Amino acid sequence: SGWRTGGAHRAVCVYVWCSPLCCLCFSCPQALQAARQFILQQATGLNSPSSNEVKQSPVQVPVSMAMMTPQMITPQQMQQILSPPQLQALLQQQQALMLQQVTHTLTHTGSSQQQQLGNKQLAFQQQLIQMQQLQQQHILNLQRQGLVSLQPGQGAVPIQSLQQAMCPTDLQQLWKDVTGVQSTEEVMKHEGLDLTTNSSNTTSYSASKVSPQIPHHPLPNGQNSVHTPKRDSSTHEEHTASHPLYGHGECKWPGCEALCEDMGQFIKHLNSEHALDDRSTAQCRVQMQVVQQLEIQLAKESERLQAMMTHLHMRPSEPKPFNQPLNLASTMSLSKRETEGFPEGLPHPPTSAATPITPMRQGPSVISSSSLHGVGHIRRRNSDKFCTPIASELAQNCEFYKNADVRPPFTYASLIRHAILEAPDRQLTLNEIYNWFTRMFAYFRRNTATWKNAVRHNLSLHKCFVRVENVKGAVWTVDEVEYQKRRPPKMTGYVDSRLVTFKVIVDPQIKILVPIITLNFVPFSGILSPTLVKNIISGLGFGSLNASYQAALAESSLGLLNSTTLMNNSTGASLNMLHIGHDDVSSTVEQVNSNGSCSPGLSPQQYGHQIHVKEEPAEMEEDSRPMSLMASVTQNLSMPGDERDMEEELPTEELE
């Protein structure tokens, strides 16, 4: 139930393709692993896709969603854990793994099984290979543009910087996942940067980049496996080589985690549990769709970068120092340390090719991640402009939503409000609101009748939207008080009822959250954003939630959070400090305070005439909040350990 066509279900489906996560964003190995498991768990409940649904357009998301069971879910979770652009690397990682698995299955299944593989499966395999080739091609393209340069003498700094931010193991793995190269050392060797005395490794870097082959994990003893294509079927290899889907004694197939003592056992497990069946192919299809969409996005962003560099008179191969770090920092979502580790403005390693693309030139939204890297004045300037919980989310993923046909995880009301507040005079005509929607979201460039009706409906329905008639006609404004009043819904106790707590690991450099569902009481600390909250909600078992409704819940929860009256000063302060750009929390506070004692930015009275009071359902009272999610969060926040750690790790800029 819940996955029908039309209506709100479309919204649900749209989120699916973001399901896999981007491990590149985590520097902590635990966080990395946790995120991986989290993702894998999301994919566990994949059901066999109905054939007709699978036949739909490969880019359309509903296909993938149709393969999900309503109970599990969570494509939304994944999208919400990380900003959409940040999902990319992991997508590619998982796609690579899946590709290998499928290829492996094709080559290692018995002959009888193999005979059962029809044209469909083979075609699918071919498709996967093509996808992989596309992926590799993008890396090459980026290299050609100077975005990802591996020229001799340039690779060392990026690699070292990356290594500073990431554990060597993870870095190596990610590197391999993205580039298809065994290790960073190996790249150095190939690029004339061999720092060791052993230069005998002849693994072909170029070949690995253009072929659909998948990198192998190093063996536990440190020996790299022979980079043998899976089609080089060798029974001996099965038991001697490592396997990307096998690590730490367990199967790494999404959602599996089956324990396997050795490679042989793992291979058996792989062939028995993860054969080329509907489920496996469904998972691969999800990846394919994700990657496909991201390929488009990447192409656009690459083109944009090219144009920008051209405009700035920068030859792609010789980016100037002053700009490159910012570009890369924002474009590739690199950590502060990473960015600062590039004083020369040298390009980053190919890892960045698979990393998310973060908007960097979208007006007031530029901030967030990129602003953490020494462009604070931009952040401040922009954060002063308007203040909505969706601001940071939108800021981070502005370009994403502009280009990807993905429904934004916000309610109509919040979007309308955002649009209005973004306007210079905080007022817009209906048509201007329409234009904002279509300008900001690819999703709203279609189905115009539907969402425009919804916009009008929301404008009329909600008291927070005030129609003001002026000489030119009518404009819509936001009554902030009303908007804030309507935000906290009754969500009492849904955390406690599940006896589940969670923690969010926040990497102070990368500013990425890693919600981890746990059965223990764990301090909560981290960046608070609608997406995070939404993810938390989802992570608590709300996976089947309608995407729109999840968005509403997330925003509501955040609104609850943003209400500083709900938390004491210390926790509130820490919250602000922990916030990524402290756009959401602090700006909300700022807005309230700047107008004096929680008065709205603009009250209906200020607009004078032609205002009538809308009758909305009575708002909830404050008394139901103590047991809410955010109340729990607040309690956890006050735990001394993490809070102290966070303060120590945060740059002083964040503590202002």
Partner DNA sequence: CATAGCTTAAACATTG
Partner DNA sequence: CCAATGTTTAAGCTAT
Binding residues for DNA (CB under 7 A): 1-2, 4, 6-8, 10-11, 70, 410-413, 429-431, 434, 447, 449-451, 453-454, 456-461, 467, 473-474, 476, 486, 489-494, 497, 540-546, 548-549, 551-552, 555-556, 612, 614, 617-620
Closest separation between CB of residue 441 and DNA, Å?
12
Closest separation between CB of residue 410 and DNA, Å?
7
Closest separation between CB of residue 584 and DNA, Å?
16
CA distance 538 to 77: 6
Closer to DNA at the Cβ: 204 or 447? 447
Closer to DNA at the Cβ: 22 or 630? 630
**What's phi and psi for 612, nearest 5 deg?**
-120, 155
CA distance 224 to 221: 9
Find out whether 645 and 510 touch, Cβ atoms under 8 Å.
no
Closer to DNA at the Cβ: 23 or 459? 459
Find out whether 267 and 238 touch, Cβ atoms under 8 Å.
yes
Closer to DNA at the Cβ: 342 or 434? 434
Closer to DNA at the Cβ: 74 or 100? 74
Neighbours of 55 (CB within 10 A): 10
Find out whether 572 and 534 touch, Cβ atoms under 8 Å.
no
Closest separation between CB of residue 33 and DNA, Å?
27
Closest separation between CB of residue 37 and DNA, Å?
22
Closest separation between CB of residue 634 and DNA, Å?
18
Q: Residue 550 contacts by C-beta under 8 Å, 6 or more apart in sequence?
A: 76, 80, 409, 534, 537, 538, 542
132-164 b/e with 16+ CB inside 10 Å = b? beebbebbbbbbebbbbbbeeebbbbbbebbbe
Find out whether 151 and 191 touch, Cβ atoms under 8 Å.
yes
Closer to DNA at the Cβ: 131 or 558? 558
Closer to DNA at the Cβ: 281 or 529? 529
Closer to DNA at the Cβ: 386 or 476? 476
Q: Looking at residue 254, what DSSP letter applies?
A: T
CA distance 375 to 234: 54
Q: Residue 231 contacts by C-beta under 8 Å, 6 or more apart in sequence?
A: 103, 106, 107
Closer to DNA at the Cβ: 259 or 474? 474
* Cα atoms found within 13 Å of the Cα of residue 449, Cβ hemisphere only: 1
Closest separation between CB of residue 444 and DNA, Å?
10
Closer to DNA at the Cβ: 163 or 624? 624
Helix 389-403, helix 278-311: angle, nearest 10? 90
Closest separation between CB of residue 249 and DNA, Å?
34
CA distance 552 to 276: 39
Closest separation between CB of residue 61 and DNA, Å?
14
Closest separation between CB of residue 639 and DNA, Å?
24
Tell me the torsion sign for CA atoms 276, 282, 288, 291: negative
Burial environment of residue 472 by CB neighbours within 10 A (0 to 12, 13 to 18, 19 or more): exposed
